[in-house]
Structure 1
Amino acid sequence: MTNPVDLVEIWRGDMVECVHRGHVVVCDDAGQIVSALGDPDKVIYPRSSCKMVQALPLLESGAGAHLSVEQLALACASHNGAAIHTDRVGAWLRDLGMTDDNFRCGPQLPDDIPTRNALIRANEKPCQFHNNCSGKHAGFLTLNKHLGAGPDYQEPDHPVQQACKAAFEEVTQETSPMFGIDGCSAPNHACTVHGLARAMAFFASAQDRSDRRSAAAVKLTHAMGAHPALVAGETRACTDLMRAMNGKVAVKTGAEGVFIAIIPEKRLGVAIKIVDGATRASECAIATILVKLGVLDPAHPAAIARMQPPIVNRRGIVTGSIRPAAALR
Structure 2
Amino acid sequence: MANPVPMAEIWRGDFLESVHHGHAVICDDSGQIVEAWGDPQAVVLPRSSSKMIQALPLVESGAADAYRLWDEHLALACASHNGAAIHTERVQGWLDHIGRTEDDFRCGAQEPRDIEMRNALICSGKEPCQIHNNCSGKHAGFLTLNRHLGAGSEYVEISHPVQQACLEAFEDVCGEESPGHVVDGCSAPNFAVSLQGMARAMAYFAAAEERPGVRAEAAVRLRRAMVAYPELVAGEGRACTELMRAAQGRVALKTGAEAFFIAIIPERKLGVALKITDGSTRGAECAIAAILVKLGLLDANHPATLKRMNAPIRNWRGIETGVIRRAAGFC
Q: What is the TM-score when the length of structure 1 is the normalising length?
A: 0.99
The 5-angstrom pairing of residues 149-298 of structure 1 reads 149-298=151-300
Distance 1:328 1:59 in 2: 38
> In angstroms, what is the RMSD of aligned CA positions?
0.8
3-state SS of the aligned residue for 2:296? coil
Measure how far apart 1:17 and its partner are: 0.4
Gaps of at least 5 residues in structure 1 are none
Which portions of structure 1, spanning 4 or more consecutive aligned residues, are displaced by more than 2 angstroms? none
3-state SS of the aligned residue for 2:22? strand
Distance 2:139 2:2 in 1: 37
Equivalent AA in structure 2 for residue 42 of structure 1:
A
Q: Percent identity?
A: 65
- The answer to whether 1:120 aligns with 2:125 is no
Measure how far apart 1:207 and its partner are: 1.1
Distance 2:200 2:139 in 1: 25
- The answer to whether 1:15 aligns with 2:8 is no
Distance 1:159 1:92 in 2: 21
Distance 1:165 1:312 in 2: 44
Name the stretch that deviates more: 186-195 or 243-252: 243-252
Name the stretch that deviates more: 1-10 or 227-236: 1-10
Partner of 2:86: 84
Distance 2:2 2:45 in 1: 18
Partner of 2:327: 325
Contact 1:5 1:327 in 2 (8 A): no
Distance 1:209 1:271 in 2: 21
Measure how far apart 1:246 and its partner are: 1.4
Equivalent AA in structure 1 for residue 176 of structure 2:
E
- The answer to whether 1:36 aligns with 2:29 is no
3-state SS of the aligned residue for 1:306? coil
Measure how far apart 1:3 and its partner are: 0.6
Measure how far apart 1:174 and its partner are: 1.0
What do residues 144-165 of structure 1 show as CA deviations (whole Å, max 9, x unaligned)?
A: 0000000010111100000000
Of residues 143, 146, 167, the one that matches 1:144 is 146
3-state SS of the aligned residue for 1:177? coil
What do residues 58-111 of structure 1 show as CA deviations (whole Å, max 9, x unaligned)?
A: 011000112100000000000000000000000000001111000000000000
Measure how far apart 1:327 and its partner are: 2.7
How many residues of Structure 1 are paired with residues of Structure 2 in the alignment? 329
Contact 1:197 1:271 in 2 (8 A): yes
Equivalent AA in structure 2 for residue 182 of structure 1:
D
3-state SS of the aligned residue for 2:91? helix
Distance 2:330 2:223 in 1: 26
Equivalent AA in structure 1 for residue 3 of structure 2:
N
Q: What is the TM-score when the length of structure 2 is the normalising length?
A: 0.98
Contact 1:228 1:247 in 2 (8 A): no
Equivalent AA in structure 2 for residue 4 of structure 1:
P
Distance 1:114 1:163 in 2: 37
Contact 1:257 1:275 in 2 (8 A): yes
Contact 1:25 1:194 in 2 (8 A): yes
Partner of 1:71: 73
